[in-house]
Structures are given as structure tokens and as C-alpha cells.
Amino acid sequence: MRLIHAGIFKSTNHVYMKNIKEKVVQFTFRSRFVPVFARYYSNMSKPSVYITREVNKEALDLLNTQCDVTFWTGPGPVPRSELLKNIENKHALFCMLTDRIDSAILDRAGNNLKIIATMSVGYDHLDVPEIKKRNIKIAYTPGVLTDATAELAVALLLATSRRLLEANEEARTGGWQAWSPFWMCGPGLKGSTVGIAGFGRIGQEIAKRLKPFNPERIIYYNRSERKKEAEEIGAERVNFDDLLTQSDFISVSLSLTPETKEMFNEAAFSKMKTNAVFVNTSRGGVVDQQALIKALQQKKIWGAGLDVMTPEPLPLDNPLFKLKNCVILPHIGSAAVETRKEMGLICAKNIVAAFKGDPLLTELKT
């Protein structure tokens, strides 16, 4: 069995609950559900939660004290057919960025669904307008993965610029011969101009971690000015074109929105320096991937480091895998053990808070 019940549902209460459910739920919708919803479940039975992957013990233990928990234990993302089958009549959904939550899922869930907690900082996999229209709360995990993602961005930038994967392969396969002055050389950070596209929490932490490498300038592009934070770091705001034309290194930490979709397109890559290193740890959709492939093949930019792509997983026959000037990672930006555990626990805490009628720790307000 891939479907696991981590709590016990009291069937003796089920008939009684079913008889009163419609009236209570109708009233709770009009009152934004929180006080009555919490009181109803504390008196009657545990609310039900469906989790789309097996998460850490700390998160499960917390949920099991308050909820009837069911989760998918398969080796990959929950199949859509399983999600559609098991979301029915659940009161909370604990999902991942691999799960597309749209009107079909919401329709199958029915009126019981009151909160969706996603174990991610991004939420482009959620149909937010449709969820909000149904008065379902959304919780996510901003902040907690900032440090891990910033660390990964710096590591990816260095792996790309200093050709670490190429060098490792040469050492393993006999390519390491007599010393040569410019063998395995790449651009260094000292004296360079570092550009940060997206100067939110992650972008700022990337800039802080790159500063000790002594770049001459750190510039950033952001929709709104971050004057105080930029002054503390020593960063300078520029427009998008200036970021493209002036940067030796570009690290992308943008959210995926209609405005940023394929923002890095053929025109953008054509404006970059030929020695530019491009790193993306945000969302694959902010890049026109075919334009990036062309830019790398034609040496219009020096190299690219990607932790995010379109689609994911990237098919093995994708041209990016054939390019030595492209380093590809399997979307591991937040893959620090402590970070993933904290993300799971935050989702669990948000669900419990919703059932108790308390404010969510990290509610998506957009």
C-alpha cells in the first residue's frame, strides 16, 4: 500500500458529523470559518489532512496530535489520479511544488478544504486566484530556505566559472597531464561586476556571500528599490538593460510572474558580455531555454549554471546536457537537511494553527 493513514478516524462519529456538516460548513464560510471551524473540530473529531509526499517525522508527529493524516509514500510525486482520489473531503492539503493544484483538484476536494500548505517558497504551481475565490487559506515557507538557496547559488556560480565539473572529469579520465598555463581556467570574481536579478531575501543573501570575493561592484535589478538593504551590502540599483550589459556574473533570484516569464530571452542574452556567467536558482520559467541554449552554443555568453529548468526533470536528450559550458543541478537549492525539516514543520504548524483558529505563521496574502 502506498497510501498511509497516520491517524485513526473514529467511524462512530462519522454519521453524526455528516448530518451536521452542511450547516456548520455553510456558517463557517460566511464567518471566514476560523473560530467556528476550530471549535467544531475540537468537539467532534480530528480534521483530515492529505500530504502529497512522505515528510519528516517532526512534521508528522505534530499533525498526528491534532489530525487524521494520510500521505503518499511512493518514490516520486503523487500521481494526479491518486491526488484526485485522496483529496476528496479532506480539510487540509500539504503539498509540494511538484503538485499542480487547480480547479479540478479543488472541485474534488469539495467544501471541506480550508487550507493548502505548500512546502515551498514559490507558488506558481497553485492556482492562487481560484483558491482565494473559494476562501481557502494558503500557507508557504518563505525565509527558511533563504540561506540554503543562497549557499547553493554561490556554489553553482563557482562551479560554473571555475569549471569544477569539467576539471573533475578530466582528473578522473586521464585528461590531467603536464601543467599548462591556461588549462581549465575560468573567470574570477575579484574585480568583477556581480549582478543580482531579484533583490529579495535570497538575492540579498547571495550578494552578501559574494562580497568577500572582492568584486569591484555589486549591482541589482528589482521592481522596487531596496535602499536600506542595498546600502548595508554596498549594492547599487540599476535598470534591467544595465544589469545585462555591465555584469560579469548574473545570479537570478526572481519569482515567476507574468512579468518575469521568459525575461531572459534572446534579446537579453545578446546584450550580455561574452565572458558573462549566468546562474539561475529561482524558476526555470524566467528563462527562454531555447534562447539560452543558442547563446551557449554560439558562445555569446561564457557559461551557465542552472538549478532550475523547464521542464523538470530535464529530459536526458536536452541539448543543455551536451554543453560543457553549462552546469546542471536537479533543483536542490533548499536541499539542506535542516532546511527541509524546518520547511515541513512550518507547513504542519500552519495547518494546526488554521484548525485552532490561530493566525497562520506564513500566510500567502497575495
Chain position carrying cell 496530535: 65
Q: What is the largest CA-CA distance in the chain?
A: 82
Counting every residue written for the chain, the total comes to 366
Q: What is the C-alpha separation between 336 and 227, in angstroms, rounded?
A: 30
Contacts of 365 (CB under 8 A, 6+ apart): none
What distance, in Å, lies between the first and last C-alpha atoms of the chain? 38
Residue 331 is among the residues annotated as catalytic for this protein = yes
Radius of gyration of the chain (CA): 24
**Annotated active-site residue in 5, 14, 125, 331:** 331
Q: What is the C-alpha separation between 82 and 78, in angstroms, rounded?
A: 6
Q: What is the C-alpha separation between 15 and 35, in angstroms, rounded?
A: 23
Contacts of 105 (CB under 8 A, 6+ apart): 83, 84, 87, 93
- Residue 301 to residues 54, 186, 247, 274, Cα–Cα distance (Å): 41, 13, 11, 4
Other beta carbons less than 10 A from residue 278's beta carbon:
28
User: Which residues have a catalytic role annotated?
Assistant: 331
